[in-house]
Amino acid sequence: MKANYLLPQKFKIIGIALFIPTLILAIMFLLYDFEFSFLDVQVFSIINDPVIGDVEYFKCIKNNITNELLSVFAVLSLIFIAFSKQKIEDEFVANIRLQSLLAATYINYLVLVVCILFFYDLSFLWIMLFNMFTLLIFFIIRFNVKMIQLKRK
Q: Enter the DSSP assignment of 84.
A: B
Within a 13 Å sphere around the CA of 16, how many CA atoms are in the beta-carbon half? 6
2: pLDDT strictly greater than 70: no
Whole-angstrom distance, CA of residue 77 vs CA of residue 14 = 7
What are the backbone dihedrals phi and psi of residue 127, each rounded to the nearest 5 degrees, phi first? -60, -45
Q: Which helix H or strand E contains 40, and what residues bound it?
A: strand 40-48
Q: Which helix H or strand E contains 100, and what residues bound it?
A: helix 91-118
Average pLDDT over every residue of 109-130 = 92
Q: Which residues contact 132 (CB under 8 A, 6 or more apart)?
A: 71, 75
- Convert the pLDDT of each residue in 138-147 to its tens digit: 999 999 999 9
Do β-strands 56-64 and 40-48 pair in parallel, antiparallel, or remain unpaired?
antiparallel
The pLDDT score that the predictor gives to residue 28 is: 95
Q: Which residues contact 146 (CB under 8 A, 6 or more apart)?
A: 96, 99, 100
- Convert the pLDDT of each residue in 8-64 to its tens digit: 999 999 999 999 999 999 999 999 999 999 999 999 999 988 888 888 899 999 999
